[in-house]
C-alpha cells in the first residue's frame, strides 16, 4: 500500500484557499473553511447538493486540455447541476486523486483553474482533500441555495413544448475535432473545453415559471428519455438542420456525419432542456434568443421517444 501523510492532504487545499481573494461575497458562505475537520456554512433555506467526478482517461485527457482547463471545466460541469436545479452556487468541495510523479505545476494549474471558475460563478471553496491515486481524478461536491421551487424532470406535461437553451451537439463536435486533430472549428473546441453552466438561462426560466428542467449532460436523446420516463409522457423530437450551429454544420459536412443524428446524440452540452407552453417559450425567447423548440410533449403512447434520428444514440464518454 502506498504511503501517504494525512498532513499533506491539507497543503494543496490550503494553498488555494490562501491564494484566492476573499471579497465579502465569497466569505459569506463559509464561516469556518478548510483546516478544521469540517466547513461550517451560513444557513441554507433550500440546500441543493450535487456531486460529479472527472477522471483522467474517462472525462479528460492531459494531451488535449491544460491543467487549468481541466480544473475550470470540472467546476463548470459540477455547477451545471445547480443551474439545472435553479440554485445559486454557495460552496464547492474538491477531492483530488494524485498519481505518483505528478508535477507540482500540473496540480497548481488544476487549482488555478478551479479557483478561476469559482471566482466566475461566485462560489466559495469549502475544502476537500488530496490522496494518492493511480490516476488523476477530481471528485467535486457542490452546495447551492435553491431559489423557489426546484424544477424536476418528472414535471413534463402533455401539450407543452420541449425546448433547449442553446445549440446541440457542440461539445461532442469539439471532442471529435480533438480526436482527429481538426482545428478549423474553434467554437466546437470551446464548447468541449470550456462549457458554461447556464445560470443566466436558469434565472429566466424560473421567472417564467418553468417547472420541468434538467441539464443535457448525456445528449438530447439520452436526457429526453430520462425526462419522458420520469414524467410518464412521450416526447416527440422535431430536429431540423436549421437549428444547428454553423460550425457544427460545417464539421458534419466535412466529415459526412448526419447532422440531426449528431445533434440528438451529443453529450456534455450543459445547455438546459425544459418544457413550457408556447406563450412561455415566446417570453423566454425574447430574453434568450438562442432558445429553441426541439419537440413536444404528448400523453404516453407506448414509446417514450418519437422522432429520433436513426443513428442517434446517447453519448458515451470515450
CB closer to a copy of itself out of 134 and 290: 134
51 is in an annotated binding site: yes
Contact flag: residue 150 with a copy of itself (CB under 8 A): yes
> How would you label 139-156 residue by residue, b for 16+ Cβ within 10 Å and e otherwise?
bbbbbbbbbeebbebebb
Among 18, 21, 37, 181, binds a copy of itself (CB under 8 A): 37
Q: What angle do CA 26, 19, 16 make, to 5 degrees?
A: 85
CB closer to a copy of itself out of 34 and 243: 34
Give the 3-state secondary structure of 194-241. CCCCCHHHHHHHHHCCCCEEEECCCCHHHHHHHHHHHHCEEEEECCCH
CB closer to a copy of itself out of 133 and 207: 133
Q: Minimum distance from CB of 286 to a copy of itself (Å)? A: 26
Q: By the 8 A CB rule, do 52 and 171 touch? A: no
Contact flag: residue 271 with a copy of itself (CB under 8 A): no
Rule CB under 8 A: which of 178-197 touch a copy of itself? none
Among 55, 62, 157, 285, binds a copy of itself (CB under 8 A): 55
Contacts with 98 (C-beta within 8 Å, 6 or more apart), sequence order: 107, 130, 131, 132, 133, 136
Contact flag: residue 318 with a copy of itself (CB under 8 A): yes
Q: Minimum distance from CB of 276 to a copy of itself (Å)? A: 18
Q: By the 8 A CB rule, do 148 and 88 touch? A: no
Contact flag: residue 222 with a copy of itself (CB under 8 A): yes
| Euclidean distance between CA atoms 53 and 140, whole angstroms | 6
Contact flag: residue 316 with a copy of itself (CB under 8 A): yes
| Euclidean distance between CA atoms 240 and 216, whole angstroms | 18
Contact flag: residue 135 with a copy of itself (CB under 8 A): yes
- In the shown chain, the binding pattern of residues 276 to 315 toward a copy of itself, with x for contact by CB under 8 A and - for none, equals --------------------------------------xx
The annotated binding site for Mg(2+) is made up of 37, 50-52, 81, 129, 215, 218
The annotation places the binding site at: 37, 50-52, 59, 81, 111, 128-129, 153, 215, 217-218, 268, 315
Amino acid at each position: 500500500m502506498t504511503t501517504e501523510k494525512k498532513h499533506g492532504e491539507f497543503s494543496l487545499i490550503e494553498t488555494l484557499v490562501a491564494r484566492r481573494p476573499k471579497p465579502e461575497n465569497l466569505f459569506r458562505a463559509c464561516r469556518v473553511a478548510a483546516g478544521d475537520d469540517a466547513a461550517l456554512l451560513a444557513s441554507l433555506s433550500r440546500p441543493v447538493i450535487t456531486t460529479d467526478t472527472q477522471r483522467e482517461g474517462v472525462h479528460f485527457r492531459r494531451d488535449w486540455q491544460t491543467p487549468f482547463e481541466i480544473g475550470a471545466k470540472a467546476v463548470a460541469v459540477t455547477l451545471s447541476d445547480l443551474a439545472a436545479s435553479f440554485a445559486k452556487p454557495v460552496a464547492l468541495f474538491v477531492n483530488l486523486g494524485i498519481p505518483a510523479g505528478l508535477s507540482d505545476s500540473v496540480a497548481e494549474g488544476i487549482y488555478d483553474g478551479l479557483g478561476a471558475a469559482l471566482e466566475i460563478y461566485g462560489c466559495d471553496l469549502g475544502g476537500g482533500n488530496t490522496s494518492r491515486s493511480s490516476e488523476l481524478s477530481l471528485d467535486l461536491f457542490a452546495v447551492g441555495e435553491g431559489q423557489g421551487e426546484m424544477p424536476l424532470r418528472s414535471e413534463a406535461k402533455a401539450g407543452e413544448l420541449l425546448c433547449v437553451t442553446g445549440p446541440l451537439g457542440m461539445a461532442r463536435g469539439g471532442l471529435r475535432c480533438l480526436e482527429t486533430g481538426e482545428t478549423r472549428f474553434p467554437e466546437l473546441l470551446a464548447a468541449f473545453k470550456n462549457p458554461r453552466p447556464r445560470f443566466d438561462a436558469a434565472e429566466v426560466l424560473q421567472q417564467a415559471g418553468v417547472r420541468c428542467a434538467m441539464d443535457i449532460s448525456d445528449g438530447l436523446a439520452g436526457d429526453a428519455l430520462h425526462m419522458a420516463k420520469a414524467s410518464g409522457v412521450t416526447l416527440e423530437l422535431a430536429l431540423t438542420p436549421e437549428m444547428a450551429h454553423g460550425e457544427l454544420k460545417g464539421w458534419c459536412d466535412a466529415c459526412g456525419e448526419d447532422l440531426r443524428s449528431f445533434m440528438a446524440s451529443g453529450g456534455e452540452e450543459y445547455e438546459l432542456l425544459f418544457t413550457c407552453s408556447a406563450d412561455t417559450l415566446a417570453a423566454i425567447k425574447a430574453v434568450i434568443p438562442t432558445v429553441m423548440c426541439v419537440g413536444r410533449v404528448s400523453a404516453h403512447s407506448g414509446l417514450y421517444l418519437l422522432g429520433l434520428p436513426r443513428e442517434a444514440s446517447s453519448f458515451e464518454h470515450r
